[in-house]
Amino acid sequence: VAFAAARFDGVLGLAFPGAAAGPARPVFDSMMAQRLFQHNVFSFRLRRYPTAP
């Protein structure tokens, strides 16, 4: 219920521009438009335990 009533775009604004809550361009869309990546690909590495390889 708390998330259903909240106004946010998700994790770091990763929503598609049409799904964003406000008029701002999502973070990675903005970075790609500025050509800050060598390739328009990015990833996240999530680990369960901080000491795991």
pLDDT digits (tens, 9 = 90+) for 39-51: 888 787 787 877 7
Q: Which domain holds residue 11?
A: 1-53
Predicted confidence (pLDDT) per residue in 19-45, tens digit: 766 677 888 888 889 999 898 887 877
Cα gap 53→41, rounded to integer Å: 23
Cα gap 20→15, rounded to integer Å: 6
- 């909240």: which residue's tokens? 6
Mean of the pLDDT values across residues 6-13? Answer: 63
Cα gap 33→24, rounded to integer Å: 13
pLDDT of res. 7? 63
pLDDT of res. 34? 94
pTM of the model: 0.53
Indicate the number of domains in the chain: 1
pLDDT of res. 35? 92
Contacts of 52 (CB under 8 A, 6+ apart): none
